[in-house]
Amino acid sequence: MNKSNADQPIGVFDSGIGGLTVVRSLRQLLPSEDICYLGDEARYPYGTKSAETIRRYAHEDTEFLLDRGVKMVIVACHSASSAALPFLKKDFNLPVIGVIEPGARTAVATTRNKRIGVIGTAATISAGEYERAILSADSSVRVIAKSTPLFVPLVEEGWLEGSVTDQVIATYLTSLKEDKIDTLLLGCTHYPLLKPALAGFFGTGVKLVDSGDETARVALEILSKMDLLRSENRKGMSRFYLTDLSPNFRTVGERFLGSPIQDVTRVSVKYEA
- Measured between alpha carbons, how far is 246 from 35 in angstroms, rounded to an integer? 22
Which of 55, 56, 71, 190 is the binder for ligand DGL (CB under 6 A)?
190
Edge-to-edge strand list for the sheet holding 183-187 = 142-147, 115-120, 183-187, 207-209
- Under a CB-based contact definition with an 8 Å cutoff, are residues 169 and 175 in contact? no
Cα–Cα distance between 272 and 164 in angstroms, integer?
Answer: 40
Inter-CA distances, 23 with 36, 142, 153, 233, Å? 9, 31, 21, 19
Of 46-85, binders to ligand DGL (CB under 6 A) are: 46-47, 77-79
Q: Cα 68 vs. chain centroid, distance in angstroms?
A: 21
Is residue 176 within the footprint of ligand DGL (CB under 6 A)? no
Is 36 designated active site? no
Complex with ligand DGL: residue 62 or 189, whichever CB lies closer: 189
How near is the Cβ of 203 to ligand DGL at its closest, in Å? 26
Measured from each CB, the residue nearest to ligand DGL is 47
Selected range binding ligand DGL among 104-112, 183-191, 216-224, 251-259, rule: CB under 6 A: 183-191
- Which listed residue (189, 215, 238, 243) binds ligand DGL by CB under 6 A? 189
CB closer to ligand DGL out of 152 and 193? 152
Q: Is 77 a catalytic residue?
A: yes
Catalytic sites, residue numbers? 77, 188
Q: Which residues of this protein are in contact with ligand DGL, per CB under 6 A?
A: 14-16, 18, 44-47, 77-79, 121, 124, 152, 188-190
